[in-house]
Chain A
Amino acid sequence: MRWVFALALVAGCSKGPEDPRADLVAKWKEGGITVGAMEPAQAGFGADCKQTTVKALEVLLCTYQSPEAAKAAEDPALTWIGEATGAAKASGKVLVAVVDRRKTDPSGKTINQLMKLTPK
């Protein structure tokens, strides 16, 4: 009986709560986008944020308790974009914000590709 309990515990712990960012990043990769490593990030509008790069674009992904909360964070995310070209969009419980601070995507092609691969 102890063994059964221990096995169940191990099985449960090994999986853990799924990070909703994982599905999104998988979609991006399926769409041909190369995504850099995810690093923990601080943002005033989200408690659980991670930052990565797509080409030379900065991409922030924050998770929320609900899709509504993620949607509500779209406007605050514009302050993170600041004085640059960028976009912010909620996708389920994840907020995606992307910014072109180095002006490497003048036509917005990569931003558009990223956002089109991000479902609502």
Chain B
Amino acid sequence: MRNHILVLLAVMVGLVGVAIAGPAMRQVRFVGTHPIPASEGGGYCEIEGPHVHVYAANKLEYRVHGRDNFFVGDPVAYGYDGPKKQYKGPHPIHVNAAVGDDQDDVEWCYIDGPHYHVFAEAPSPDFKVVGDTYFYVAEPPPAYVEARPAMVKINAIYTPMRYSRPVVDVEPPSGWIGVRAGFGGPVVDVEGDVVAPVIVAPGVHAEVVAPVVRAEIVAPRVEVVVPAPSLEIGIGVGVGVGVGGGGRYHEHHDNGRHNGWGKKRHW
């Protein structure tokens, strides 16, 4: 009997030990600079080439390039203060040019309004540079249109963020995607808010603060419910606390599996 109790205790201690240690953290591949999740200390990762971390990339701000996650959001929103280029409205990104490899890969940035990237597009008739701002003026392909309903939700991340956005006070060139029907319509964010597109009339300052119109939209609320179970699982098992992290950044993560998008690279 005494032996049985001892064995039982040993098993229980072992199980507690496993629960505390948790599962091994998974390496996630990145290429290019990117924000560091708040749960990992925050800040901005300056590694330009391929590298690994043990935290995930989220689906809205990253695209998969080859096997690596490439950041397509606005780095300034996360404290980046290095060289940058300013854009206005959605646009393609030639990731291979941005990271300096030969894997052809065109991804899309769905950020409405003025924003920054660390890369610049190569001269192309698809872009017009007015002042210092890149405007996409070509016809977006079906892939852009198809992915837009999902990917445009990136604006729900950036719209409420307080940071120094570029001030674009020039007239958008003719053909700019931001004023074309079907490519710059209202955006429904994950909380059911309707976020107005940032379309600035010619000659008006584009300080970006997009008006947010509250609306009672039933359907999108379903999307808010979906992520909850995964959070409950993580807590119930007693592992992963501090691995995946909290905060808005991680509400969108998909454990590094994304589809996925630059200028020269660097090593």
Interface residues, chain A, CB within 8 Å of chain B? 78, 81-87, 89, 106-109, 111-112, 115-116, 118
Task: Given A83-B54, A106-B43, A107-B43, verify A112-B27 contact (CB < 8 Å).
Answer: no
Contact of A107 among B24, B45, B54, B267 (CB under 8 A): B45
Contacts A106-B36, A111-B47, A116-B267 known; 11 new A-B pairs at CB < 8 A: A83-B25, A83-B54, A87-B49, A87-B52, A89-B49, A109-B46, A111-B51, A112-B49, A112-B267, A115-B47, A115-B48
Q: Is the CB of A116 within 8 A of B54?
A: no
**Given known contacts A116-B266, A116-B267, A118-B267, A108 and B27 CB-to-CB distance under 8 angstroms:** no
Chain B 36-67, CB-CB to A under 8 Å as 1, else 0, gives 10000101111111111110000000000000
| A83–B23 CA distance with the chains assembled, in angstroms | 11
A42 and B135 alpha carbons, distance in the complex (Å): 53
Query: Whose C-beta in chain A lies nearest to the C-beta of B266?
Result: A116
Distance, CA A118 to CA B46, complexed state (A): 16
Known contacts: A83-B54, A85-B54, A118-B267. The answer to whether A107 contacts B27 by CB under 8 A is: no
Q: How far is the CA of A106 from the CA of B43 in the complex (A)?
A: 8
Is B52 within 8 A of A78, CB to CB?
Answer: yes
A-B contact count (CB 8 A): 55
Q: What residues on B are CB-neighbors of A106 within 8 Å?
A: 36, 41, 43
* Contact across chains for B267 and A115 when beta carbons are under 8 A apart: yes
Specify the chain B residue showing the minimal Cβ separation from A99.
Answer: B52
**What separation, in Å, do the CA atoms of A85 and B41 have in the docked complex?**
13
- Chain A residue numbers with a CB within 8 Å of B41 are 106
- Chain B residue with the shortest CB-CB distance to A98: B51
Q: Is the CB of B51 within 8 A of A87?
A: yes
Question: Which B-chain residue is minimally distant from A107 (CB atoms)?
Answer: B46
- Pull 30 A–B residue pairs with CB atoms less than 8 Å apart, ordered by A: A81-B27, A81-B52, A83-B24, A83-B54, A84-B54, A85-B47, A85-B54, A86-B51, A87-B49, A87-B50, A87-B52, A89-B50, A89-B267, A106-B36, A106-B41, A106-B43, A108-B45, A108-B47, A108-B51, A109-B46, A111-B51, A112-B48, A112-B267, A115-B47, A115-B48, A115-B49, A115-B267, A116-B49, A116-B267, A118-B267
User: Which 10 interchain pairs have the tightest Cβ spacing?
Assistant: A108-B47, A87-B51, A116-B267, A112-B47, A108-B45, A115-B267, A83-B25, A112-B46, A108-B46, A107-B46
Complex Cα spacing A10 to B46, Å? 48
B45 contacts across to A, CB distance below 8 A: 85, 107-108
In the complex the two chains form, what is the Cα distance from A108 to B50 in whole Å? 12
- Please give, as numbers and ranges, the residues of chain A lying within 8 Å of B54 by CB-CB distance: 83-85
